[in-house]
Structure formats: structure tokens, C-alpha cells
Amino acid sequence: MPKSKLFKSKNQSDSVFKRFVKQYAILLIVFIVFILGILIGRQTSEPEIVYKNDNHGSIYNKTEKPEFLSKDLNFDLFWDVWQIIEDNYVYQPVNETELLYGSMAGSVAALGDSHSVFFDPETTKDFNDELAGTFEGIGAEIAIKNDRLTIVAPLPDSPAKKAGLRSGDKVFAIDGMDTTGISLDYAVKQIRGPKGTDVVLTIGRDSLDDFKEIKITRQNIDIQSVKWELLENNIVHLEIRYFNEDTTDDFNQAVLEIINKNPRGIILDLRNNPGGFLDTAINVAAEWVEDKVVVYEKSADGKLKPHKVNGRARLKDFSTVVLINEGSASGSEIVAGALKDYNLATLIGETTFGKGSVQTLFPLKDGSSIKLTVAEWLTPNENTIEGDGVEPDMEVELTVEDFNQDLDPQMDKALEVLMANEE
């Protein structure tokens, strides 16, 4: 969809500007009416005591909404705020496009739902690229290890691999910027970039006497969402990193190869899998779940919509362990919850993230979009995922110390369980 300008230049008439902007104001009106409806509906008829201490008294009515939120609102108030900013803000000129985008983002944020987000056109593209399984960057998995940004593994045939990055390389600088104390999300944003551009990583390696600068040209990166290997004891380690557009085909191919190996058991690794497409997660679960409900979708009116599969369930006869942790979210929780409720697998690890709400992406005319929560997920036993997560059958923690020492007690426990099942 072609992008369109949100506003005309200052040298054009104010009347044209306002007519143009008011087309977008309709969206804001809808948001505000929706927000007010939620806020009014949440009001309680009786005071609630939310804090009590015999020495310091009590706080009442903390959840009561101010009276002004229950009154009708004249949308002219929005234009009053807009005009005050334009006339009085010290740093002129005001960027009107950013002001409008900020207004729309604030409307969605006012819902108080961390999963409902307004995306500007650039962020919308990045989001869709992630779901499509592609992005532009160097193709390396990174993590914070021993308080230092570290290369976990360069992807096969990636620019990172071809430039000479190795697993375990410590990244001390990105384009000359010191990475001490850097957050993982920020590091990812700095390393990724448009295809054809360069990024220079300053790395340290045990075999090197000094730092080494490695220049890498960014390219299109295809995310390998599914990979598997046959371990020495004839147990399959099957890892699914995302539920994106390529996952179903890649997973189907993996299933065919795994069946031919006839393993003694399968470890389905969903750790740090943030989710993705609903249909993809259901297709994965269908390789264990046969002719049953994988997940329920609970709408705002409380009605349950079952998502039932007529799957081939080609893996249902293999002993299965599912590895989960607090990074397993959304689609991962749907799969793990279904296999747990039907006793088709043993869940090992830590309670999942608890992201059990349904988001729909609503595209807008200018390339931006709204990711809005429209329902919630429930497991086949109608257990809530949102906020609660899916609990493991066997709780095994993987500590920072374990990670730093390349230990994986969760994997060790999974192997132990599968070996015991065969004895």
C-alpha cells in the first residue's frame, strides 16, 4: 500500500490542513469512546481498601475513576491541546506528523494493555518482516553472557559466518560504541540495518592477544525457525524458535525425517519462542493432538470458540518432553498447554511468560497499523494462559551461572526422563 503524507506544508492554508487532519481525527474519536467505555465499565459501586497498615492508616478508593472520566467529552478539547502546543512549545517548529502519531500511540496505550500497540509505518514493516521470517542484518544469534554481549552462534551461510564471527566471540563495541552494560534489545537494533550497509564489531576471542575489528555487510536474513538433530542416545532434539510463515513447511519436513529415524523419544524445545501465527502453532500441536480442541478463543462477551484439529498426529506415539521457560510465549504456550492437558508430553523447565491474549493487526492507510487485543486463549482444559502462563510438570531452573558455564540442566532432565521411559 503506497504511503501518503499526513499533512501539507506550512505555506498552505490552515483550512486545508485541518480538513486533512480531521480525517485522521475520526480514528482518535473511536479510540477515546472505546477507552471511556472500558473505564466506565470498570468503575465499582463500593470503595475498595487496597492498602492497610495499623500504624499508617488505610488508602481508600484507589481504583475509583475520577468523575471527569464519566462525563461526555467534546473533541474540541483535542484541538485546544494541539493549538496550545503549536503556539507555546519552546522548541519550534513542532513536527505535526510526529504529534499526530504520538496522539494515536497514546490512545492505544491508554487501554493499559501492553500487548495492544500502535505501530508507525517503519515499525509495522519490521513487525511484518519478523513474522515473515526475514530481516536485514548480519545473521547471528547474540546474548548477554557474563555481563558481556556475546555471539551465541552465527547462522549458516550468513554474513556473520562468512566474515569470520565464531560462537563465543565477545562483542566489545558496535561501530565504535562501547557495549558495556548494553541491553540485548538495543544491541539487536544497532547491529541490524539496511541491506548493503556495513557494521563493524570489535570482538575479543580467547585465541586472540588483542581486540579484532570485523566489518560485516548486512544482507537479507532468512530465520530458520525449525531445526533438529539426533542425539547419541537416539533421542531427537527438535527446536522451534518462532511460529512464522516458513515454520509449517519446515516443521512438516522435519517430521518426515524424524519418523524415518524412529527415535526413542523427542525433546520439543520451545524455550524463548515468542510465538507468531496462531494457525502455525495449531499445525504444530496437530502432530501430537488428534481430532481434539487445541485451544479455545474467549471473546469479550465470554463466548468460547474452539480451534479443533483433524491432524495426522504422526508424533503422538513417540515419548515427548517439552522444554519451556519464561521466554516461551503465545503460540509456544498454546502448544505446550495442549500437550500437557492431553497428557501427550511431560513439560520441563519454568513457567511460561503468560501471554495468552489474541492480537489482530489492523493496517492503516499510511502504512502504520494497530496491534489490538481482541480475545484471550484458554487451554483445552479451559485454563487461562494470560498472566498465569503454563506451569511445567517438572520445574527445573536454568540459572545465569549455568548459562555462563555452558550447562543445561533442563536438557539434562529431559534426557533423563526419556531414557527412564524406555527402561
Residue 282 to residue 267: CA distance in whole angstroms: 18
Q: Which of 246, 269, 341, 366 is catalytic?
A: 341
Q: Angle 122-123-127 (CA atoms, 0-180°, nearest 5)? A: 125
Helix/strand/coil for 378 = strand
Which residues are CB-contacts of 18 (< 8 A; sequence separation ≥ 6)?
none
Cell numbers found for residue 166: 565464531
Helix/strand/coil for 259 = helix
Contact between 109 and 101 under an 8 Å Cβ cutoff? The reply is no
Q: Give the number of other CB atoms < 10 A from CB of residue 44.
A: 10
Which residues are CB-contacts of 85 (< 8 A; sequence separation ≥ 6)?
94, 99
Q: Which of 355, 357, 368, 413 is catalytic?
A: 355
Among candidates 209, 224, 254, 247, which has minimal Cα distance to 154? 224
Q: Which of 103, 319, 328, 330 is catalytic?
A: 330
Residues present in the chain in total:
423
Please report the DSSP string for 313-350 in residue order: -TTTTS-EEEEE-TT--THHHHHHHHHHHTT-SEEEES
341 carries an active-site annotation: yes
52 carries an active-site annotation: no
Residue 281 to residue 330: CA distance in whole angstroms: 9
* Greatest extent of the chain over all pairs of C-alpha atoms, in Å: 82
Contact between 422 and 318 under an 8 Å Cβ cutoff? The reply is no
Task: Give the pairing of strands 177-178 and 49-53.
Answer: unpaired
355 carries an active-site annotation: yes
DSSP single-letter state for residue 384: B
Among candidates 285, 296, 387, 386, which has minimal Cα distance to 340? 285
Q: Please report where in the chains the cell 492508616 appears, as a residue.
A: 57
DSSP single-letter state for residue 258: H
Active site residues: 330, 341, 355
